[in-house]
Chain A
């Protein structure tokens, strides 16, 4: 089926509008329900992205996964976030991102946490590795970190 494309405006939209969607949802639904919804949406997006790239169960090489994800959602991709590195810390996988869309436009010191960005990485990692994961946003560029760091614990 044909899809509508934007002949003049192209595929990209401003962060300002995306952030307005988030703050508007938070105003109407509350922060928690919004966060749950955006993380869920991100996970679905990440899984679909990995599938579309033919990466389902493709690799456990985290450096390779980081490079593939960065290509898909970083500067040369959709520009959701740059994926700088992924490390294996035993029972935990840590993903170091920079320039996340969730932190962009926020004041330094803001308590905001990544939801959609983290969900997208989460879903993609689950699809690529075949592991079931549980994620949290730990370090933030808004609160003194050099990166937005997402920690994923392997779930049995």
Chain B
């Protein structure tokens, strides 16, 4: 399964303009598959992503914002987007600053649907 997930991520990153990397992470913060820019530590990135999504879910609940759809970090070098991928995984996507958010979200949703199918 790890190979199938890795292939989906590779195709997603290679085939989508402005996307620099992606990682699929277990809810307890362990890497399942990743295509990250060099120099990024896969294990640290995974733990950070799962903790961030969990914290976002807590904010959604405690501050009455409802179910979290995604978490978006926007910096001057680009975006980091976290999205739940079913019960079994969290998807992190890194995109550069010229990415169009609407198109980016559409591409991410397509990738999530492929990843969910592979996870099942």
Contacts and interface: CB of A to CB of B under 8 A. Distances in A.
Interface in B22-52: 27-30, 43-44, 47, 50-52
Contact of B58 (A29, A36, A39, A43): A29
B118 interface: no
Given A36-B47, A43-B43, A30 B55 contact: yes
A142 to B, nearest CB: 20
B105 interface: no
Grouping DSSP codes into helix (H, G, I), strand (E, B) and loop, the A interface class, with mixed when no group exceeds half, is helix
Contact count band on A: 10 to 19
Interface of A: 29-30, 32-33, 35-37, 39-40, 43, 134, 156
Interface residues of B, number: 15
Nearest to B47: A40
A42 to B, nearest CB: 11
A40 B58 contact: no
B54 interface: yes
B2 interface: yes
B44 A32 contact: no
A33 B44 contact: no
